[in-house]
Chain A
Amino acid sequence: DTAVSQTPKYLVTQMGNDKSIKCEQNLGHDTMYWYKQDSKKFLKIMFSYNNKELIINETVPNRFSPKSPDKAHLNLHINSLELGDSAVYFCASGHDRGNYGYTFGSGTRLTVV
């Protein structure tokens, strides 16, 4: 059983398109995250939801909109895609407090052409 699953794994799309990435976790964690990893492997937090409530919203263009229908799901919608959006997007889950690390999904490799 996959603990944190993301779809799709690969996404190639043209500039200006709108796309969505979906994430689901079956670990019972109360918090889910979106991270962006650039070509140099730097992981940067984008958003975090705790029990469907947005708790972290870093400086991210408003073309990016997260949605959490329930605490097991967190989706990311991106409008008007730009070349600079090309990266690997990771979903992760964990607990907001305490001595917990995250469980990451396998990532969605987005390429904007």
Chain B
Amino acid sequence: QKEVEQDPGPLSVPEGAIVSLNCTYSNSAFQYFMWYRQYSRKGPELLMYTYSSGNKEDGRFTAQVDKSSKYISLFIRDSQPSDSATYLCAMRRDAGKSTFGDGTTLTVKP
């Protein structure tokens, strides 16, 4: 069983829709939770990071962590065609490597 499981997708939504991207994990030692966005033929870029359970908002993006359920989500409001990319969740303990999910490819259609 993988330490991090991500909803596989692909996901296709109309412009303006609310998007929900989700990951579950099995290692209760994970403390830091991150979302990366990767455009085609580019490197992943850090979108958001959170520590502990709760919500964190940044513009149209909200990251949610539920440590009791070992579940994290990224919500995108008012999705735009420019949001079309692969989204990767990642998590780590206090020190050491980040473990990534397999990624969910999102297409937002105009």
Instruction: Give A contacts to B, CB under 8 Å.
Output: 4, 33, 40-45, 48, 55-56, 90, 92, 96-107, 109
Contacts of A103 in B (CB 8 A): 46
User: For chain B, which range describes its interface: under 10, 10 to 19, 20 to 34, or 35 or more residues?
Assistant: 20 to 34
Known contacts A41-B105, A43-B88; 17 further A-B pairs (Cβ under 8 A): A41-B102, A41-B103, A42-B103, A44-B100, A48-B96, A92-B43, A97-B94, A98-B32, A99-B51, A100-B32, A101-B34, A101-B36, A101-B98, A102-B44, A104-B43, A107-B43, A109-B41
Instruction: Report whether over half of chain B's contact residues are helix, strand or loop; otherwise say mixed.
Output: strand
Is there contact, CB below 8 Å, between A42 and B100? yes
Is there contact, CB below 8 Å, between B103 and A101? no
State A48–B97 Cα separation when bound (angstroms).
8
